Amino acid sequence: MLHAADPATERAGLDGDFGSLCDRPTVTVLRPGDPALLPDAGHETAVLSVTVPPHAPGGTGAEGTLDWTAGGHAERLADALLAAAGKAGLDLESRLLWRETRTPADTERETGAPGGAVPGPALAGAGGAFLRAANRDAGVNGLYLVGGSAHPGGGLAHTGMSGALVTGLIVNGDDWRGSQ
């Protein structure tokens, strides 16, 4: 995790006072250690992600949305993410074979989620305002919930955790409470 140089500016943008993309946002870096995922000895697989405002056609940022299909925002942000990783000592750019930049506009187009919004993680915000549904539905025997709207919440890492929790419930029984 590479934290923003100016967290207040980054937070203001996500709260709707969004004039421009944060120059150095908080970046999550996922680097799997499985050798089968490496293209060759000189390269690696890495996913860089950052929280951004939702997509809206014509969105300028002032109202808390951004038109991710216009203005080159996505590519500029992708470049900034690589630069931030480089400044933190993780030189990915010089070893880059290819990159895919995905935005809220892509998520909206492919999933129908308004604005391409991904639910936040469970317990995010003051007082746990974004609690998610449990992974096992107590009212329906055998019904398990996985994904961004279930515990522990949205995003690639949290959704993977959600799947692992449900796997544990199915394999070990409904009384399973995780690794202890």
pLDDT in tens, 84-117: 888 888 888 888 888 999 999 998 999 888 888 7
User: H-helix or E-strand containing 28?
Assistant: strand 28-30
- Concatenated DSSP letters for 130-162? T--B-SB-TTSTT-B--STTBTTBSSHHHHHHH
Cα separation of 114 and 21, whole Å?
20
Q: The pTM is what?
A: 0.62
Q: Give the pLDDT score at 124.
A: 54
β-pair partners for 48: 29
Mean pLDDT, to the nearest integer, of 5-16?
59
Please check whether residue 170 is in contact with residue 144, taking contact to mean a CB–CB distance below 8 angstroms. yes
User: Is the pLDDT confidence value at 18 over 50?
Assistant: no
β-pair partners for 84: none
Per-residue pLDDT tens digits for 48-80: 888 788 888 877 665 677 889 988 889 988 998
